[in-house]
Chain A
Amino acid sequence: MSVEDRASAEEQPETIQPKGRKRTGLLARSIRQRRAQVGLVLAALVILLVLLGPLFSPYSTTQFVGSPFLRSSPGTLFGTDALGRDAWSRFLGGGQTLLLLAVLATILGVGLGALMGTFAAYKGGWVDEFVMRTGDIALAFPEIVLALLFLSIIGTYLWLLVLLVAIAHLPRVARVVRGAALSVVERDFIKSAEAFGTPRWKIVLTEILPNITGTLAVEFGLRLTYSIGIVAGLNFLGLGLQPPAADWGLMINENRIGITVQPWPVVLPVIAIALLTVGTNLVTDGIARASAGIGRGVE
């Protein structure tokens, strides 16, 4: 046993803490920070708008209500878009698909990436080398270029879009999670589970993953932000949802020619996407700080 082992055991603060100490979870500690509170309000605002918006939209998303690029009027709060549809109604109805695709891609990407990273850290040796070097190769391609390539070859399917965004996240998530898992796999409770003969897949799921939830939460938030950006970007480029569907990315593309005359159909989705990404980022930042122990107070 090394000097450090004994030192760390000696320094453990637990022994001097009162017994009935209140357990404060990671999320509770995160949300106590001002940045996380602001982020949560921003993100919640956009998510509520996306979920409840369609209930309050004055027109259908595809209904023509007047001539193109009309300025705001009593009937059309934010005017009309390039084809004369109500900008406000299209805005309210244009977030669901974007959010759904982004969340699905994130769950898939972070989930698979976490499994890969943990498995690589746990197995070590050539498995680790193989997984991480393959990841390095994938990292050499920019996320959006890769997605563009496959979407233009195979076709603009939404499932493919989700899959591609998820795959783009894989190597990045795997790398971060592997780093976090490396310090866990060395700990004795993993050895102890091995001594009981616990199957290796179970060790990954029940012993390692629960101990890196902080990292996973941060990764999830961060990747969600990126997913929103990529999906909106691909929609903007016309590789996601197709007209006449209402979608924020698509709206920006369709209406950018009239931005000087009638900015609302572009500005509304831009503001929403910005608020959503800034919001999720702030929450994520709060979780990261809480799990790193920053701002916990000195004791």
Chain B
Amino acid sequence: MPSAMPQALSEPALQVQDLTVTGMPSMAQIVREVSLQLQPGEVLGVVGESGSGKTTLGLALLNYCKSGTAISGGSVVVDGQDATSLTGPELQNFRGNVASYIPQSPATALNPALRIGTQLRECLNDDISRSDISARVQQVMGEVALPADKEFLQRYPHQLSGGQQQRIAIAMAFIPRPRLIVLDEPTTGLDVTTQATVLATVRELCDSYHCAAVYISHDMAVVADLVDFVAVMYSGEVIEFGPMAEVLAAPKHPYTGRLLLAVPDLYAKRPMVGIAGYAPSPMDRPAGCVFAPRCPLAIDICRSTVPPIEATGARSFARCHRIGVPLPTPEHRTHRPESETRSADALLDVRNIRGRYGKNVVLEDVSLQLRAGECLALLGESGSGKTTLSRIVAGLHTNFDGELEFDGQQLPPSSFGRTADQRRRIQYVFQDPYESLNPRRTVRDLILQPLRALKSPIAEPNRIVTEGLERVNLRGDLAGRYPDQLSGGERQRVAIARALVTKPDVLICDEITSALDVSVQSSLIELIQRLQDEMGLSLLFITHNIALVRNIAQRVAILQDGRIVELTSVEDAFAENAHPYTRSLIASTPNIAFPDHSPLEELHDEQPPAVPGPSRI
């Protein structure tokens, strides 16, 4: 296998050879035979869906394993030092000074009891003089674009915003001037505008310190703008590695190709395509290629023999038997939302809502209409009040002034005050399917739950459950399962099936894909679109993802700090004369631009060219 590895150019900053991390006591290989190489100043993106082993790999680069796991083979050489052989004080010195780590959530990574200045100074060795320390602190604060004055350094983490906290975490990692820095999803949970500045900071610091960085992310679009190289992980293996531009232009592994297609395009130039099935667990891998069960190109050899690492360029490789075989046109995909809404009648009329949490006003004078058969997106960053608004409509948040009207009738604020028919016709799908399904109920019980609560007669429960599951593309035999026996995507489908079992007119989708992987997200969006067509649903689609809005909605309401700053057709929101806030959201959202004549781009050539319809508002 090493012979297939690309040749070293000079002294690499990071050299990983056949690294394997094993879980105890199952002996499952969470990370399997990973080999990577990185030169100083280069940024490597590690991309993969949840459970693919990317965080485990990131931690293993610092010779750190979570309890119950251990590095069982291979080596990690950083700047000439073999990390896997270090112990005790040497290892301590290695972590931080040679290789440092920026964790996912700055809110939990910073010590809430220590001032940020103290935390920054802690990251430096004792052998540095006091004046040097404060000089370094001043310098690094400037580099992460934060004020370096005394007052600011005396603050506690909770006195900073999420973006500032993450920049402090970055400063802590960079202050000892390490040779390698591992960033584990540092921008997940940050708003797009904050994310853009954090990403720019990381890139600048890597360039100026000539430091190698490993950037772990589940979001291909974020990585595409930032990194020089990309390693795509799937079920613990790096299945493709190469320069980002090359991978974007011509992905060698079918998973990489399909993963790229699953990312929603900000301008909806191409449809979103999900990947059916789910990634195998490290305890239960298939015999041949790990991706074979989901791969559209799989042939017999893929199912029987593990593909070897095959060099595909000077510094790129893929693990696939079918390198070079073009992907077939996907069968399922989203379609571009029709620009014309089917009806001008307002089904749901929300007037002058002033929503409060306790005494805090979180929504100010919000009015919008949902027309029959349309999809209205509610777009906003965290804290903009979009979930509060959706819960007010669903009757789950009653602390507000203003009026709700549904189908010509007054809608009482609390769901308990509404008539059974009103409750039946407005259904809500929650953000996180891990939270919204009672773990003690079977899928069958969950699907029948709304019918029982509405006291509607249930003539043939078995048929209702089977139909409900089939409607969301789930097998009928899942009815006996409990939620913890389902994957995240399956759970969300059950939640959708449950909402649809009452045959509602309005479906409120509160960030229904934000807890799920992109490949699953695309399948869900596809499903929601199909169901909307079949059942004539009106959708209120709440999201923070502007690219999704473009791919599903006809109209969009943009919320900023509890006010609607723009309510317009999606085309107009993307036009030059849109509201400045909308423009800034679009500008900060990373987007994958395929190079011209990319094989992925050509997959959709037979699609009719998009003609922007006349906007009607």
The residues in A between 176 and 200 inclusive whose CB is less than 8 angstroms from any CB of B are: 187-189, 191-198
**Cβ-neighbour of B432 out of A5, A21, A193, A211 (below 8 A):** A5
Residue of B nearest to A297 (CB): B25
> If A6-B188, A10-B188, A299-B25 touch, does A18 touch B434 (CB 8 Å cutoff)?
no
Q: Does A73 contact B (CB under 8 A)?
A: no
**A211 touching B439, Cβ below 8 Å:** yes
Cross-chain pair count, CB within 8 angstroms: 140
**B218 touching A193, Cβ below 8 Å:** no
**A191 touching B189, Cβ below 8 Å:** no
> If A194-B416, A197-B420, A197-B423 touch, does A15 touch B50 (CB 8 Å cutoff)?
yes
Residue of A nearest to B449 (CB): A196
CB distance from B465 to the nearest CB of A (A): 16
Q: Does A152 contact B (CB under 8 A)?
A: no
CB distance from B274 to the nearest CB of A (A): 16
> If A4-B107, A10-B218, A18-B284 touch, does A298 touch B431 (CB 8 Å cutoff)?
no
Residue of A nearest to B236 (CB): A16
The DSSP consensus for interface residues of chain A is helix
Tell me the complex Cα distance, A187–B515, Å: 15
> If A211-B439, A211-B440 touch, does A197 touch B453 (CB 8 Å cutoff)?
yes
The residues in B between 532 and 562 inclusive whose CB is less than 8 angstroms from any CB of A are: 544
Residue of A nearest to B397 (CB): A191
**A189 touching B415, Cβ below 8 Å:** no
**Cβ-neighbour of A15 out of B51, B395, B439, B453 (below 8 A):** B51
The residues in A between 182 and 234 inclusive whose CB is less than 8 angstroms from any CB of B are: 187-189, 191-198, 207, 210-211
> If A6-B189, A16-B281 touch, does A196 touch B438 (CB 8 Å cutoff)?
no
Residues on A with C-beta less than 8 A from B387 are 1
CB distance from A200 to the nearest CB of B (A): 8
Residue of B nearest to A209 (CB): B440
Residues on B with C-beta less than 8 A from A260 are none
**B432 touching A188, Cβ below 8 Å:** yes
Tell me the complex Cα distance, A6–B284, Å: 26
Tell me the complex Cα distance, A7–B382, Å: 15
> If A16-B282, A197-B453, A207-B438 touch, does A299 touch B488 (CB 8 Å cutoff)?
no
**A195 touching B428, Cβ below 8 Å:** yes
**B416 touching A189, Cβ below 8 Å:** no
CB distance from B593 to the nearest CB of A (A): 26
Q: Does A9 contact B (CB under 8 A)?
A: yes
CB distance from A215 to the nearest CB of B (A): 14
Tell me the complex Cα distance, A6–B511, Å: 11
**A194 touching B415, Cβ below 8 Å:** yes
Q: Does B67 contact A (CB under 8 A)?
A: yes
Digitize A1-31: 1 where CB-to-B-CB distance is under 8 Å, 0 elsewhere: 1111111111010111111010100000000
CB distance from A260 to the nearest CB of B (A): 56
Tell me the complex Cα distance, A9–B454, Å: 31
Tell me the complex Cα distance, A205–B4, Å: 62
**Cβ-neighbour of B382 out of A1, A195, A196 (below 8 A):** A1
Residues on B with C-beta less than 8 A from A14 are 434, 484, 486-488
The residues in A between 120 and 166 inclusive whose CB is less than 8 angstroms from any CB of B are: none
**B434 touching A12, Cβ below 8 Å:** yes
Tell me the complex Cα distance, A1–B486, Å: 23
Number of B residues contacting the other chain (C-beta, 8 Å)?
63
Tell me the complex Cα distance, A211–B488, Å: 20
**Cβ-neighbour of A9 out of B415, B439, B488 (below 8 A):** B488
Tell me the complex Cα distance, A83–B488, Å: 71
Tell me the complex Cα distance, A192–B26, Å: 37
**A6 touching B423, Cβ below 8 Å:** no
> If A6-B514, A23-B482, A188-B430 touch, does A16 touch B453 (CB 8 Å cutoff)?
no
Residue of A nearest to B429 (CB): A192
Residue of A nearest to B435 (CB): A188
Digitize B450-469: 1 where CB-to-A-CB distance is under 8 Å, 0 elsewhere: 10011000000000000000
The residues in A between 247 and 299 inclusive whose CB is less than 8 angstroms from any CB of B are: 297-299
**Cβ-neighbour of B278 out of A15, A193, A198, A298 (below 8 A):** A15
CB distance from B360 to the nearest CB of A (A): 16
Of the candidates A17, A18, A193, A195, the one having the most CB atoms from chain B within 10 angstroms of its own CB is A195
> If A9-B432, A192-B430 touch, does A18 touch B420 (CB 8 Å cutoff)?
no
CB distance from B392 to the nearest CB of A (A): 12
Residues on A with C-beta less than 8 A from B450 are 196
**B436 touching A192, Cβ below 8 Å:** yes
Q: Does B323 contact A (CB under 8 A)?
A: no
Tell me the complex Cα distance, A192–B432, Å: 12
Residues on B with C-beta less than 8 A from A17 are 281, 283
CB distance from B260 to the nearest CB of A (A): 21
**A195 touching B50, Cβ below 8 Å:** no
Q: Does B36 contact A (CB under 8 A)?
A: no
**B454 touching A196, Cβ below 8 Å:** yes
**A197 touching B454, Cβ below 8 Å:** yes
**B51 touching A189, Cβ below 8 Å:** no
Digitize B402-439: 1 where CB-to-A-CB distance is under 8 Å, 0 elsewhere: 00000000000001101010010001101110111111
The residues in A between 77 and 94 inclusive whose CB is less than 8 angstroms from any CB of B are: none
Residues on B with C-beta less than 8 A from A192 are 428, 430, 436
Residues on B with C-beta less than 8 A from A5 are 431-432, 515
**B454 touching A15, Cβ below 8 Å:** no
Q: Does B114 contact A (CB under 8 A)?
A: no
Tell me the complex Cα distance, A211–B396, Å: 22
Of the candidates B108, B387, B430, the one having the most CB atoms from chain A within 10 angstroms of its own CB is B430
**A197 touching B418, Cβ below 8 Å:** yes
Digitize A38-51: 1 where CB-to-B-CB distance is under 8 Å, 0 elsewhere: 00000000000000
Residues on A with C-beta less than 8 A from B190 are 3
Residues on B with C-beta less than 8 A from A15 are 50-51, 278-279, 487-488
**Cβ-neighbour of B26 out of A4, A9, A299 (below 8 A):** A299
Of the candidates B107, B162, B382, B432, the one having the most CB atoms from chain A within 10 angstroms of its own CB is B432
Tell me the complex Cα distance, A30–B443, Å: 26
Residues on B with C-beta less than 8 A from A194 are 395-396, 415-416
Of the candidates B50, B438, B486, B488, the one having the most CB atoms from chain A within 10 angstroms of its own CB is B438
Tell me the complex Cα distance, A298–B26, Å: 10
Residue of A nearest to B428 (CB): A195
Residue of B nearest to A14 (CB): B484
The residues in B between 303 and 328 inclusive whose CB is less than 8 angstroms from any CB of A are: none
Residues on B with C-beta less than 8 A from A16 are 51, 279, 281-283
Q: Does B352 contact A (CB under 8 A)?
A: no
Tell me the complex Cα distance, A196–B499, Å: 9
Tell me the complex Cα distance, A195–B279, Å: 33
Of the candidates A6, A196, A207, the one having the most CB atoms from chain B within 10 angstroms of its own CB is A196
> If A2-B189, A15-B50, A299-B23 touch, does A191 touch B396 (CB 8 Å cutoff)?
yes
CB distance from B407 to the nearest CB of A (A): 18
Q: Does B24 contact A (CB under 8 A)?
A: yes
Q: Does B181 contact A (CB under 8 A)?
A: no
**A7 touching B189, Cβ below 8 Å:** yes
Q: Does B193 contact A (CB under 8 A)?
A: no
Residues on B with C-beta less than 8 A from A7 are 104-105, 108, 188-189
**A195 touching B108, Cβ below 8 Å:** no
**A1 touching B514, Cβ below 8 Å:** yes
Given A187-B436, A197-B420, 11 more contacts at CB 8 Å? A1-B189, A7-B108, A7-B189, A9-B514, A9-B515, A15-B278, A16-B279, A188-B430, A188-B435, A196-B454, A298-B24
Q: Can you list 11 contacts pairing A with B, beta carbon distance less than 8 Å?
A: A1-B189, A2-B107, A7-B104, A10-B185, A10-B218, A10-B515, A16-B283, A187-B435, A197-B453, A298-B24, A298-B68
6 smallest beta-carbon distances between A and B, as pairs: A298-B68, A3-B189, A9-B515, A196-B453, A16-B51, A210-B440
**Contact surface of A with B, Cβ cutoff 8 Å:** 1-10, 12, 14-19, 21, 23, 187-189, 191-198, 207, 210-211, 297-299
